[in-house]
Every structure is written in structure tokens, then in C-alpha cells.
Structure 1
Amino acid sequence: MWRRLVEPMGLLFGQMAQEAIRQGVALPLQNSTAAFTTVLLIEGNTATGPMSVAAVPHGWLPVLQRLVSPVPDAGLPAGPLVMGILNTTPDSFSCAGQHYNAGHAIQAAEQMAHDGAGVLDIGGESTRPGAAVVSPQQEWERVGPVLEGLRQSLPGVPLSVDTRNSLVMERALAAGAGVINDVSALGHDPAALPLLAGQSCGVVLMHMRGTPQTMEAHTQYADVACDVVRELGLRVEAAVAAGIARERLMVDPGFGFAKTQEQNVILLRRVLLLANLGCRVVFALSRKRMIGALTGVADPAGRDSGTVAASLMALPFGNPVLRVHNVASMVQGVRVWQGALGE
């Protein structure tokens, strides 16, 4: 079903978008106050257009409907949501060891919540290129104390656990996690799909080819933006077929995972193609190498301004989840966007 994709273009915002919709020259984009006036129709490797939304052939209307229909919130608060990153690993690319101690991690999480994080994402395995493999038990020993501590100190903040291992997933859900964020899109551990089918949590499916150790050898794409959407679509269908309700699913295009710097930029430029999947979108660009390449900033900790600028590309979706290290700066960026557009 993913052979046909529609790429929205010609965005309008705020009052102008609403007037264009009323006049029949634009369509609303999912959950947002944005609208699109033109589209590119993509079938296989052939693109037709751009053309006005009024000129779309009748046979393409079911595909077009995916871009218009509001998407579920997947169990998280509605609207643009900032997700604070809490890496409890000694070898994170950005903040190696900073939150390795459970007490320090909990303090950092409490500050993120104070700064406006709507959800916190706790990870115990580094997935940077070439990262060392840890056992699920080691991963849980890093994540478990932080998760359990946060359930006590921040009972009102949803917690996500970044893991590809079913043992960690099961224990995290039992300890109060509300979201499972899997960089392998539930493809790494065969037990993950049936486990999550019996739960009610939100699930993030991220695009990646290979593993963190091998992904840099899997960067051959015919069209990186279309291929990522289609491959993610297959993982969405696999999750639904296994019994995970589509309403629980979120999708992450996986910036930096099995993609070159040039491919990351193309994917960012054409990210609205993800609307074809009908799922809430997670944007995880924080401090990544592509930000460094675009800004010339070598130190990952100095890339927060670039992170905000790139992450705002997701705001037209209306309810994106923006996964970042610096929550305060991202919250400011979202508020400026909303204020400028009168949202």
C-alpha cells in the first residue's frame, strides 16, 4: 500500500491557512493549523506535479486523505510536546556519563520537567554508530533505578524508555513507563511485538537499517525520503498485524541512523512525507552530527541552537514529539512559533 505517496507543499499558516481552506484552495495538514495548497504525487519512482490540491485525480483521494485526517496522540498530551533525553549510559555521544549515576539522572529529569518537558525518555544503551553492545540485564540495571525514582518524584510526567530489548520493555512497563521507544522499530527482539500487543502503552517505531554497529554500511537509497517512509510503513503494518493498535503508534524517521549527512538534510527538507503514515511523528535531531555539519560546531553540547532550528521543521504536523537534550531552549522555540502564528 506504500507504493503511492503524496508529498504536501505550499504551506500556509494561521488565519491565511483557514481562509484558503474555506475557499477550497488548500487542505488542512493533520492536527495542525497549517494547510497545504499543492502536492507531488509519487508512484514508485515516478513523481507527478506539483499540482494544486483541487487538481488531484479521484483515484488518489484515499492517499490524500491520510494527510488530512487528524492522527491519534498515542497516549501522550496533545499538541507539540518536548521530550527530554535522559541517557543513563557511560558512552552517550552528547553527555557521556553525565546521568550514569541514578541520583544525578533523577535531578536532571526533575529540571527538565520544570523547564517544560511533557515526557521524559530514559535510555540505558548507547545507539551511536559503533557503540558497544550491552546485555538487556545491564541495560535494565541502568534504567530501572531511574525509572522507579522518577515514578515517585514526578508522578504526573509520562515516562518513555528507549530500548530494543523485550526484557527491558517488560520490566519498564511494570515499573510505570507509558511509552516504549525502539530504534529498531520492534525488529531487533522477536519477543517485542507479542509483548507490546498485550499492553496499552505508546510505541515509537524508528527507522534504521542494520544495527548501531553496522548501519553506516546501509546508506544506499533510491530516494531517501520516500524509502524511509515506505520502510517505516512496513513496520507500522507489522505492528498492527501483531495486535498493536495503530492509535498507539508513533514514527521517527531516524536522523543519523543509516543515513549520510546529505541524506539527513534531504530527509529533513522533505519530512512532511511522513504524514502519509497517519501516526504521530517523533523528531530526534538533538545535537546530532548533521547539526554539527550544518553549523560548523564540533562540540555536540554546543549544538542546541541548531537543534531548535531543525526541530521546528516538525511543527506543521501539529502534534510532533520533539526529543531533545536541552528542554528549556526547545520549549522557548515552540512558544515563539505558536505565538507568531497565534496558536
Structure 2
Amino acid sequence: MFNRNATPQIMGILNVTPDSFSDGGRYSTLDAALRQVKTMLEEGVDIIDVGGESTRPGSNPVSADEQINRVVPIIKAIHTDFPDLLISIDTTLSSVADAALQAGARIINDVTAGLGDAKMLPLVASCGMPIILMHMQGTPKTMQDNPQYQDAVTDIKRVLQQRIDAALNAGIQPGNIAIDPGIGFGKRTRDNIDLLAHLDQFVDMGYAVLLGTSRKRFMGSICHVSEPEELVTATAVTTALGVIAGVNMFRVHDVKANRQAADVAWAIKQAQ
């Protein structure tokens, strides 16, 4: 499913939650969600990532039933109106993933890399769908409470390799596995910068790589801005750098700017 050598793909974020850090409550109705999907398609999106639970720092977990009530009607509507559009479900719970797949989702994006629910990896293996395994230190509730690493790149690569091995042992095909270093998920600013400076090391692990920096707080501290919406340009810079490093998927709020950044960087990379 995942093609490491293909043109970079833009994954548009569609949070159907009341409390996400940047866009909470904006797309919780069916009409608003479909309008946003249409806009993202016009701007060049490749995948829509639908989430029913905020994973911002300090957030509390949301029950499976509540997540299903939030995401399934919207996934069904997107799949009906845009049947060729790839839909990803952003969840850590196998029951939510299963319901979303039945509604039309075709990718599972799990910020716990299967650690949040022991049934997740077996589900993915049984249905033959692809999964994105992300690194997170701690939980969303506690992850920014003094995270520590001996060496962020080495430590996170080791954990991701463990999760890759667990996925393979569960029966998931290598081509159905992507990894995500988890920018901002239990990382200090210097850890995030270190990860971005060494994205090629994650690419060299041999799997598709997703990068999710969109509007993240650590960039605000560098740019001296406090509003997430002011970090569109900063996000696009990381997208361009990621393309040059070999990253091939980018999870973003602002599709147009990042589509342009990815396309220009890709053209430069091809010329190299």
C-alpha cells in the first residue's frame, strides 16, 4: 500500500473533535466536514485523516463509543461523496478502527503504534489494511511532563523498530507499515529539532515515513508566535526539508501551502 518512492503525499487533518489544539469544533458537523474535504481536494490533498479524539498535550481519552459516533457518519459521507479519496482513521482503539474501516477508511493511523490496544495489530493483519506506527513517550495527558532521552534519534528509532517487529510478528505485511517519529509527542523543542535534522535516518529504516509537524508548538517558540494558525509557513519549511530527506507523507492542516512546498522540493530532489 505505501510506496516509499512515490510523489510525496499530503494527508489533510480533519478533526471531528471539540478540543483539538488548532481546529477543535470547526468540523464536527457533517456539512462543515464535507466542505472542508472539498476544499482540501481542490488544494491537492491525497489522504484525509479523520480523528475523533484529541491527542494534544494534556488531553483526556475519549471512549470508543464516542469516537465511533463522531467519526463513522463523517467517514461514510466522505466515502459516498468522494469514493476515490483515501481516508485514514486516527485512533488508538481497535473497535474504532474496525468501525471506520467498515465505513470506508483504508488506513489506520495509531499514535501509540499498537501499544494502546492489544487487539489493534491483529485487526490490521486480519483485514490487510495499512497502518502508521507513531512514536510517543507517555500518553497525551502526560507526554509533555519533562520528557527525557539519552539520544532522541537513537532512542526513537529503537522503539519504532520494536513496533515494526511487533507488527510483522502479528502478520502485517512490510508494505503496509509506515512509521512516524512523533514530532511534539513527548518531545522537547531540542528533541523535535534533532529529529527534523536526522529524518534521513528514519527513511533509512526501510519503511514509508509520515511527518506531522503541522502548527506544532515548538515551532511557535522558535518563531516567537503563540497562535497555531501563524505557523503555516514554518510547517511548509519542514515539509520541504522532509521531502529532500526522503519522507513521503505529510500530515497537515494547511493543504495548499504544504502541497506547494512538497511539489517544489520534490522537483529539486528529482533533479539531484
For the aligned pair, the TM-score class normalised by the smaller chain equals over 0.9
Distance apart, 1:275 and its partner CA: 2.4
Report whether the alignment pairs 1:283 with 2:216. no
**1:146–1:226 CA distance, 2 compared to 1 (3 A):** same
Tell me which of 289, 296, 314 is aligned to 2:242. Answer: 314
Report whether the alignment pairs 1:273 with 2:201. yes
Partner of 1:203: 131
Structure 1: distance between partners of 2:268 and 2:143: 39
Distance apart, 1:202 and its partner CA: 1.3
Code of the aligned partner of 1:123: G
Code of the aligned partner of 1:95: D
Tell me which of 163, 167, 171 is aligned to 2:91. Answer: 163
CA RMSD of superposed structures (Å)? 1.6
4+ runs of 1 displaced by more than 3 Å? 338-343
Structure 2: distance between partners of 1:281 and 1:338: 15
- Give the SS at the match of 2:214: coil
Cα-to-partner distance string for 1:193-244 (whole Å, 9 max, x where unaligned) = 1111101211000001221112123622110011111110100000100111
- Give the SS at the match of 1:219: coil
Partner of 1:137: 65
% identity of equivalent residues: 37
Structure 2: distance between partners of 1:338 and 1:162: 27
**Contact residue 86 and residue 121 of structure 1 kept, 8 A:** yes
- Give the SS at the match of 1:217: coil
- Give the SS at the match of 1:303: helix
Cα-to-partner distance string for 1:61-104 (whole Å, 9 max, x where unaligned) = xxxxxxxxxxxx52799320011000000001011211111220
Distance apart, 1:274 and its partner CA: 0.4
Over alpha carbons, which structure has the higher Rg?
1
Partner of 2:170: 242
Partner of 1:99: 27
Structure 2 runs not aligned, ≥5 long: none
Partner of 1:10: none
Structure 2: distance between partners of 1:74 and 1:151: 20
**Contact residue 163 and residue 181 of structure 1 kept, 8 A:** yes
Code of the aligned partner of 2:68: W
Structure 2: distance between partners of 1:95 and 1:164: 20
Within 5 A, what are the aligned runs for 1:54-69?
Answer: none
Structure 1 runs not aligned, ≥5 long: 1-72
Code of the aligned partner of 1:293: S
Within 5 A, what are the aligned runs for 1:119-138?
Answer: 119-138=47-66
Structure 1: distance between partners of 2:270 and 2:167: 37
TM score, norm. by length of structure 2: 0.95
**Contact residue 75 and residue 248 of structure 1 kept, 8 A:** no
Distance apart, 1:336 and its partner CA: 2.1
TM score, norm. by length of structure 1: 0.76
Structure 2: distance between partners of 1:218 and 1:166: 29
Partner of 2:154: 226
Structure 1: distance between partners of 2:130 and 2:4: 8
Q: Which has the higher strand share?
A: 1
Structure 1: distance between partners of 2:84 and 2:252: 20
